[in-house]
Structure 1
């Protein structure tokens, strides 16, 4: 069992396209926060394509590069001594992302996999759930950033769906207060069967989310990303702010459940218990080790727990946010 160290464990990140500056930007982030280097040379960081090879890598994409930087930085923040595997799918098509998912799960040493992407549910998505059915590997998925409503693969019964909160300093015993973030995805799946460990009353199918972490952009996190289309311009920040070029040029504050998923994947790695967990069931039998979020809403559902935070389980924040690692 772990609890304070992820040494020897690997958190995998599955994203689409290539971030050519992933390793160099990660180095700046980690140095800025006094974290140990995580490089290809020291064996901490590895970047591969969806076939597990270091080349050829997919084409670069400015938007996905920002996502990749965020994911790598959040793993670093939550589990500084975890190894990181970045698996880059050839495209954002589901077929390529599924190949990347299977590659991540098949890589020796991978304890958990984070997915900060999603798509609308259809009657076809259950057939792709096989790619998340990897016993012994904890798989986390962002619940979405569009408020009340269900996306896939967060709705897969084989994953831990991670919702979002707004987190701010407070004068209480914890030192922080949390409410449901208005953008957090949640609700009752139209297609997915209900896992045996879920018992909420108003949804006969899979309910999203399971747990949560900070996601509100206004109480967001810092990340470092410099992959952009500025070229050699000395006015890159201005050009980006005007929407004339794409990408980022250094430190940015970001949010979304894309923050929350890699954080929770890293907590699974810290706990060191993924090999004995049954998909996303473990937190449901260890709720006392979570911070219950009891206020806030992400939409209109008649005041139901499916879109309104309340004591105990609710859709936007699930069972709550990590309080140490005992719930994972």
Structure 2
């Protein structure tokens, strides 16, 4: 998630600890810098740097894709490669039946993009035996000046959307400004996404960014940026957005301090967008589950202060009250279970790094949507009504997540705060939505339900 300003990135770190809740501590030396702590199921782990665009384990740099055993030995956290993630969601069963995303296009929107993404993706594909996709790069909102500090988000998004739907086309939409908090960056994003929709460039749009609702100057200023999502709904385009990586809270306008009460981010809170939360996978070296998925303590979730409850959430009103609830569904995002990503920069050799967050979960779910589009031979459009119908009828492809929570405890300005979050449970919760997915069942179910 891009949730901190670039100038603060070097000071930010996320540490995995034994606490049962997401805990964020702040240093007051110079500029306040955020430190986050995520639950790891009883293990003490290495620090994870909060960069402008993602969470990354500092110093974790490998010449070859690291194994889970290597990560557990060196950094006390699990890490997973593309094939393990595929296996975890049962995707090989779909691939063997010919469903790999052929004929579908995933649109990925990222600030600044990456000038090395084509070469990085080629290395990633070779390492995991993946086919090279048709990758198009466009800049419809203006010329982009590449920034290495932001390239990791693009790399993560492209590589893991591709890992889930290996034969889907990818359109990378690079925008010329960053989106931190408030309206910054969103006018260019809206322009770029309207271009994508007008020119029919893809059936699903993946957005690994958000801004806390309270950081917008007014409710009207936020609502005035919704045109792309309105256009997408009319055009039958599915729009996804990451729910955030700070549990039940999120950044204030300075991009560093946290709200001391529950908040959520937009656009994941938009009723026309599918909010994607994060889970923690527990896998062996082959990608088999050793225990069921649990909620990631960093998974953004709660109720909107801007949008009222949409009709498709009427069945979960006990959780959402009269407000829009976030997220809608979840996939892998925990830092104890970070994914292997290959990244280089201009003039520097590439290395394998460990990255995590709902920025991971969102492009992964975009791949799932592309597979469902292929299966159903049609675009899915707004899938939220289908997700809640599938959950209500206990569709086999919707996997309940019943452990974990997103309570946030942090120190700020010399005081310690706890923002009470939400516990995962069968059915709907404000930490993982309706749950996670078992792709061999979920893909055909979604294709049939989203008509």
**TM bracket, shorter-chain basis:** 0.7 to 0.9
| 1:142 paired residue among 242, 245, 250 | 242
Q: Is the 8 A contact 1:141 1:160 kept in 2?
A: yes
Tell me the equivalent position of 2:296.
181
Unpaired segments ≥5 residues, structure 1: 39-43, 237-248
Tell me the equivalent position of 1:23.
118
Tell me the equivalent position of 1:242.
none
Q: Provide the TM-score with structure 2 as the length reference.
A: 0.62
Correspondence 1:76-87 to 2 at 5 A: 76-87=162-173
Note the alpha carbon deviations across 1:70-96, whole angstroms, 9 max, x for none: 000111110000000000011121111
Tell me the equivalent position of 2:400.
292
Q: Is the 8 A contact 2:124 2:159 kept in 1?
A: yes
Q: 1:142 to 1:80 in 2, by over 3 A?
A: same
Q: Tell me if 1:46 matches 2:136.
A: yes
Q: Tell me if 1:323 matches 2:444.
A: no
Alpha-carbon distance in structure 1 between the residues aligned to 2:156 and 2:308: 32
Q: 1:296 to 1:327 in 2, by over 3 A?
A: farther
Task: Give the secondary structure class of the aligned counterpart of 1:144.
Answer: coil
Q: 1:185 to 1:177 in 2, by over 3 A?
A: same
Tell me the equivalent position of 1:162.
276
Q: Tell me if 1:130 matches 2:244.
A: no
Q: Is the 8 A contact 2:137 2:173 kept in 1?
A: yes
| 1:282 paired residue among 386, 389, 402 | 386
Task: Give the secondary structure class of the aligned counterpart of 1:59.
Answer: coil
Tell me the equivalent position of 1:309.
424
Tell me the equivalent position of 2:187.
95
* TM-aligned CA deviation for residue 286 of structure 1: 1.5
Correspondence 1:219-258 to 2 at 5 A: 219-227=337-345, 231=347, 249-258=350-359
Alpha-carbon distance in structure 2 between the residues aligned to 1:66 and 1:276: 29
Q: Which has the higher helix share?
A: 2
* TM-aligned CA deviation for residue 18 of structure 1: 3.2
Alpha-carbon distance in structure 1 between the residues aligned to 2:336 and 2:289: 20
Q: Is the 8 A contact 1:12 1:87 kept in 2?
A: yes
Task: Give the secondary structure class of the aligned counterpart of 2:161.
Answer: helix
Task: Give the secondary structure class of the aligned counterpart of 1:101.
Answer: helix
Where does structure 1 differ by over 3 angstroms across 4 or more consecutive aligned residues?
A: 173-176, 276-279
Note the alpha carbon deviations across 1:250-275, whole angstroms, 9 max, x for none: 21111000001011111111001562
Note the alpha carbon deviations across 1:94-128, whole angstroms, 9 max, x for none: 11111122223234351101000011104231221
Q: 1:225 to 1:174 in 2, by over 3 A?
A: closer
Q: Is the 8 A contact 2:408 2:420 kept in 1?
A: no
Task: Give the secondary structure class of the aligned counterpart of 1:197.
Answer: helix
Q: Is the 8 A contact 1:213 1:263 kept in 2?
A: yes
Tell me the equivalent position of 1:206.
324
Alpha-carbon distance in structure 2 between the residues aligned to 1:213 and 1:105: 26
Alpha-carbon distance in structure 2 between the residues aligned to 1:192 and 1:185: 16
Note the alpha carbon deviations across 1:12-44, whole angstroms, 9 max, x for none: 000111310011111111111101122xxxxx1
| 2:204 paired residue among 112, 120, 140 | 112
* TM-aligned CA deviation for residue 175 of structure 1: 5.0
Q: Is the 8 A contact 1:286 1:326 kept in 2?
A: no
Structure 1 vs Structure 2 CA RMSD: 2.4
* TM-aligned CA deviation for residue 63 of structure 1: 2.7
Task: Give the secondary structure class of the aligned counterpart of 1:58.
Answer: coil
Q: Is the 8 A contact 1:10 1:82 kept in 2?
A: yes
